[in-house]
Amino acid sequence: MSDKFQMRFTGSGGQGVILASVIFAEAAVVKGLHAVQSQAYGPEARGGSSKAECIISHGEIWFSKVIRPDFLLALTQNALDKYAPELAGDAVVMIDDSLDAPACLDPERVVSVPILRSAKEDVGKAITANIVAVGAINELFGLFDEDVLREAVSRHIPKGTEELNFRALSVGKGLIAPELRDKYLEENEI
């Protein structure tokens, strides 16, 4: 990791991309790192576009918005088409496998995984897609230990849904093949 790891999470309102960004910021704080999380959304509660950001660093973070993401999550085609062109060449993009990666992206830097389908079929609840994504992203970059991530998730979910959400984390983790993980681990070590 350079001095800051800048993450951007995009999708449509209601998909929980803001919560996904909050969980990574929380995990960083639990671990004793610096983190800043922010978000942008339209006036609609659901259905509008949604963008959330999280910056993790060993040092103090001032400017709170992500300018040059190291990582982009896209859960909708609209979000992907909108944010992909702004990416620097070395950014890693995770997309739901139902989406088509635009030509501007280097296929080597695109990780296409069945986030939405796994949430629905393997976890059994479509609304856990964001937590599935969290599990997958964490595994891809080897960001946080399991207990830190679970603690971060626990702080932001309704009581009684821990088991469901931890299962979603595991399903997400399982979406990342070991060789894929090894590819990005070193360059993004925190």
Partner 1 sequence: MSKAVLMQGNEAVVEGAIAAGARFFAGYPITPSTEIAEQSALRLPQVGGTFIQMEDELASVAAVLGASAAGVKAFTATSGPGFSLMQENIGYGMMAEIPCVIVDVQRTGPSTGLATSPSQGDYMQARWGTHGDHPVIALSPSSVLEAYRLTVRAFNLSEKYRTPVILLMDEIVGHMREGVTLPNPNELIINSRKMSFHDGANKQCYFVPEGQYVPAMKPFGRGERYNVTGLAHDVSGFPTNDNAVAGANIKRLLDKVEKNADDIIRTEEILLDDAETAVVCFGGTKRAAMDAIAALREKGEKVGLFRPVTVWPFPEKQLREKCAHVRRLLVVEHNHGQMLLQVQRAAAPAQRVDFLGRIDGTVITPDDIIAAIEGKEGEYHAQ
| Nearer to partner 1 (CB atom), residue 20 or residue 123 | 20
Tell whether residue 43 is a contact of partner 1 (CB under 8 A).
yes
Tell whether residue 164 is a contact of partner 1 (CB under 8 A).
no
Tell whether residue 154 is a contact of partner 1 (CB under 8 A).
no
**Cα(100)–Cα(170) distance, integer angstroms:** 25
Site string for partner 1, 78-117 (x = CB under 8 A): ----------------------------------------
**Closest of 18, 12, 58 to residue 35, by C-alpha:** 58
76: β partners: none
Tell whether residue 65 is a contact of partner 1 (CB under 8 A).
yes
Angle formed at CA 141 by CA 137 and CA 147, multiple of 5 degrees: 75
Tell whether residue 158 is a contact of partner 1 (CB under 8 A).
no
**Cα(140)–Cα(148) distance, integer angstroms:** 16
Tokens standing for residue 178: 């070991």
Tell whether residue 22 is a contact of partner 1 (CB under 8 A).
yes
| Nearer to partner 1 (CB atom), residue 39 or residue 77 | 39
Q: How far is the CB of 53 from partner 1 (least distance, A)?
A: 10
Please name the amino acid found at residue 62.
W
DSSP 3: S
**Closest of 119, 156, 158, 154 to residue 136, by C-alpha:** 119
Binding segment for partner 1 among 59-67, 90-98, 104-112, 177-185 (CB under 8 A)?
59-67
Tell whether residue 127 is a contact of partner 1 (CB under 8 A).
no
Tokens standing for residue 6: 């800048």
Residues lying near partner 1 in the complex (CB under 8 A) are found at 22, 25-26, 28-43, 61-65, 67, 148, 151, 155
